[in-house]
A and B are shown apart, each in its own frame.
Chain A
Amino acid sequence: MKAVEVRELVKDYGSLRAINGISFEVNEGEIFGLIGPNGAGKTTALRVVATLLQITSGSVTVFGYELPKEAGEVRKIISYLPEEAGAYKNLRGNEYLNFIAKFFGEGEKSQDIVQRGLEISNLGERINDKVDTYSKGMTRRLLVGRALMVNPRLAILDEPTSGLDVVNAQEVRRIINSSVEAGVAVLLSSHNMLEVELLCHRIALIDDGKIVASGTAAELKNEYDARNIEEAFVKAIK
Chain B
Amino acid sequence: MLGNIIKKEFKELFTISTLLPIVVVALVFGFVGQMVGNVGERIEDKPVIGIADMDGGDFSDIAMSVLIEKAEVIYDGSDAEEGLKEVREENGVALLVIPENFSQNIYANHPGEIEIYWIMRGAGMLDSISSGVAEGLIQSVNQEISKKLIQQDNLLDPALILASTTRSETTFFKGKEVVGLSPSQLSNMLISQSVVMPVVVMMLIIMAGVAVISSMGLEKENKTLETLLTLPVRRSHIVIGKVVGSALVGMLMAAVYMIGFLYYMRSFQISDINLADFGLTLGVQDYLLVGISLFAALLAGLSLCIVLGTFAKNYRSAQALIFPITALAMISSFTIMFKDFDTIPAVLKVLLFAIPFSHPMMAVRALMLDNYLLVIGGIAYAVVFTAIMIAVAVRIFNSDRLLTGSVRKRAARGKLVWGFRR
Instruction: Answer yes or no: B97 CB below 8 A from chain A CBs.
Output: no
Q: State the CA gap A146–B416 with chains docked (Å).
A: 38
Instruction: Answer yes or no: B232 CB below 8 A from chain A CBs.
Output: yes
Give the number of A-B contacts (CB < 8 Å). Answer: 83
Instruction: Answer yes or no: B421 CB below 8 A from chain A CBs.
Output: yes
In the bound complex, do residue B232 and residue A50 qualify as a contact, i.e. CB atoms below 8 Å apart? no
CB 8 Å contact bits of B398-422 with A (1 = contact, 0 = none): 0110011000001001011110111
CB 8 Å contact bits of B226-239 with A (1 = contact, 0 = none): 11011111100000
Q: State the CA gap A146–B226 with chains docked (Å).
A: 14
Closest 8 interchain pairs by CB? A14-B417, A86-B222, A85-B223, A82-B223, A80-B230, A75-B232, A76-B232, A82-B226
A15-B413, A15-B415 as given contacts; A52 in contact with B420, CB under 8 Å = no
Q: Which of B103-131 contact A (CB under 8 A)?
A: none
A15-B413, A103-B232 as given contacts; A53 in contact with B223, CB under 8 Å = no
Q: Give the Cβ gap from B212 to chain A, nearest Cβ, in Å.
A: 15
- Which residues of chain B have a CB within 8 Å of any CB of chain A? 221-224, 226-227, 229-234, 399-400, 403-404, 410, 413, 415-418, 420-422
Q: Which residues of B contact A52 (CB under 8 A)?
A: 226, 229-230, 403
Most chain-B Cβ atoms within 10 A of its Cβ — which of A18, A52, A104? A52
Q: Give the Cβ gap from B250 to chain A, nearest Cβ, in Å.
A: 17
In the bound complex, do residue B226 and residue A15 qualify as a contact, i.e. CB atoms below 8 Å apart? no
Q: Which residues of B contact A16 (CB under 8 A)?
A: 417, 420
Q: Give the Cβ gap from A65 to chain B, nearest Cβ, in Å.
A: 12
Instruction: Answer yes or no: A111 CB below 8 A from chain B CBs.
Output: no
Q: How many residues of A contact B (CB 8 A)?
A: 39
Most chain-A Cβ atoms within 10 A of its Cβ — which of B223, B230, B421? B230
Q: State the CA gap A39–B422 with chains docked (Å).
A: 5
CB 8 Å contact bits of A175-203 with B (1 = contact, 0 = none): 00000000000000000000000000000
Of B224, B420, B422, the contact of A85 (CB 8 Å cutoff)? B224
Q: State the CA gap A106–B300 with chains docked (Å).
A: 31
A selection of 15 A-B contacts at a CB cut-off of 8 Å is A13-B418, A13-B420, A15-B415, A16-B420, A18-B420, A38-B422, A50-B230, A51-B229, A54-B399, A80-B227, A84-B223, A85-B224, A86-B221, A86-B222, A209-B422
A41-B422, A75-B230, A76-B232 as given contacts; A85 in contact with B222, CB under 8 Å = yes
Instruction: Answer yes or no: A43 CB below 8 A from chain B CBs.
Output: yes
A13-B404, A14-B415, A16-B417 as given contacts; A79 in contact with B422, CB under 8 Å = no
Q: Which residues of A contact B230 (CB under 8 A)?
A: 50-52, 75, 78-80, 156
CB 8 Å contact bits of A68-97 with B (1 = contact, 0 = none): 000010011011111111111100000000
Of B224, B231, B417, B418, the contact of A88 (CB 8 Å cutoff)? B224
Q: Which residues of B contact A43 (CB under 8 A)?
A: 421-422
A54-B400, A80-B230, A103-B233 as given contacts; A86 in contact with B417, CB under 8 Å = no
Q: Which residues of A contact B227 (CB under 8 A)?
A: 80-82, 85, 100, 146
A42 closest partner in B (C-beta): B422
Q: Give the Cβ gap from A112 to chain B, nearest Cβ, in Å.
A: 17
